[in-house]
Amino acid sequence: MRAKFKLHVCTTEQGVEWVYRVPVGKGQAVIGFNSIAGISIGFETEPCSGNTHLPAREGTEKIWKHIRCNAAGAKEWRCLAAIGLVQAVARWEINDLVAER
């Protein structure tokens, strides 16, 4: 059986703080958002430690180890897959922007 993931993409005009959002459990999602480092990845809800995120260019495992205290019961494999999905989309979008120049 394959897992299904929903990737939500928004524009800044929509007034939300994230650019990419992948739900991983009840009330929790992995998000990609604009930061000084480009796109950073963290959890939408941070019950354990606020402001915990890393740049999308870091390794998937490194990001997971850094943000996992905020997983709030979300399964590790879902979070790793969601982080990888956000990384892939962010990388594709960056490459697409560079190709347009």
Distance CA 8, CA 19 (A): 8
Q: Where are the domains of the chain?
A: 8-100
Residue 76 makes CB contacts below 8 A (sequence gap 6+) with 64, 68
Least confident range of 43-47, 83-87, 91-95, 96-100:
96-100
Q: Which of 34-38, 56-60, 73-77, 83-87 has the lowest mean pLDDT?
A: 34-38
Query: In this predicted structure, what is the pLDDT of residue 18?
Result: 76
What's the confidence (pLDDT) of residue 16?
A: 59
pTM: 0.81
DSSP state of 52: -
What's the whole-number mean pLDDT along residues 1-18?
A: 64
